[in-house]
Amino acid sequence: MSKFIQFNLISTILVGFLLSSCKVKKENFDIDLSNLKVPKKSNVINSNKDISLSSETKNKIIISELINYPDKSKILSSIKYGKIDPFSKKGIKDKLNTLIKVNGFLNTKNNNYVFVSYLGEKGTVSEESIGGVNTTLLPNGAKVVTIDPKNLELIINFENKNYILKL
The pLDDT tens digits for 16-41 are 887 777 666 666 667 777 788 877 76
Residue 125 lies in a domain: yes
Residue 46 lies in a domain: no
CATH assignment at residue 158: 2.30.30.830
Give the mean pLDDT of 110-136: 89
Given a contact cutoff of 8 angstroms between Cβ atoms, the answer to whether 1 and 7 are in contact is no
Residue 147 lies in a domain: yes
Please name the residues in contact with 125: beta carbons below 8 A apart, sequence gap of 6 or more. Answer: 113, 114, 116, 135, 137, 138, 144, 154
String of DSSP letters for 91-112: -B-S-HHHHEEEEEEEE-SS-E
- Its domain, for residue 111, covers 96-166
Residue 140 lies in a domain: yes
pTM of the model: 0.44
The per-residue pLDDT for 93 is 46
Residue 13 lies in a domain: no
Opening angle at CA 136, ends 133 and 139, nearest 5: 80
Count up the domains in the chain and report the number. 1
Residue 2 lies in a domain: no
36-85 confidence digits (pLDDT tens)? 887 776 554 555 554 555 677 777 777 777 777 777 777 767 765 555 55
Given a contact cutoff of 8 angstroms between Cβ atoms, the answer to whether 21 and 13 are in contact is no
Residue 33 lies in a domain: no
Residue 35 lies in a domain: no
